[in-house]
A and B are shown apart, each in its own frame.
Chain A
């Protein structure tokens, strides 16, 4: 199975800050990496698909980059409504696997 390692596991930042989360795959997954946002008690929501494509309707302050084994997710200017846990997920090989999550809090 492909292991997905996210860092950091938790992050505290101020409104307006630039926030970056990284995700490393245990083997080459090309561009097949998605980023999800999950708010407490809610279902995950896709923000970025195939490493860098912004899902329709998602604010442009969210972005993703990378290919191969190393990927980055960025919020350019943190907003209060961005408080959530963020997950990366690879869909290059079965079984599809997720990172352990990054819990984002407001400082």
Chain B
């Protein structure tokens, strides 16, 4: 069974940092691009970042560029999102999502259950 399980969310002060992780199982991790998508409370979905299967291609939304870093460890079947200089507007549920292809394509076919990040003083 294909599974994505996020962890690392929590409460952090503005300007602080947090590292999210996504543990995957049930498929050959390196064959797929991976993504982070977020959803602010009561709001819609926003794509955050993508990384290709071999980490060659990495993309960010303008809203997080320069502050967030996406990475993956194919040996450990793990996807990470390092979030720095956090702002109140980064408060959201963060989902990891699998892409259909090895190269980022934006076609998300499997999603984790999400982890909540709250940025507040």
**Chain A interface residues (CB < 8 Å from chain B):** 32, 34, 36, 38, 42-46, 49-50, 55, 87, 89-91, 94-101
Contacts and interface: CB of A to CB of B under 8 A. Distances in A.
B88 interface: no
A100 B44 CA distance: 6
A91 B107 contact: yes
Contacts of A34: 107-108
| Dominant secondary structure of chain A at its interface with chain B | loop
Nearest to B48: A95
Contacts, number: 54
Nearest to B106: A91
B28 interface: no
26 contacts: A32-B106, A32-B107, A36-B45, A43-B111, A43-B112, A43-B113, A44-B95, A44-B111, A46-B109, A50-B107, A55-B109, A87-B44, A87-B45, A91-B105, A91-B106, A91-B107, A94-B59, A94-B106, A95-B59, A95-B61, A95-B62, A96-B106, A97-B47, A98-B47, A99-B44, A101-B44
A89 B44 contact: no
B100 interface: yes
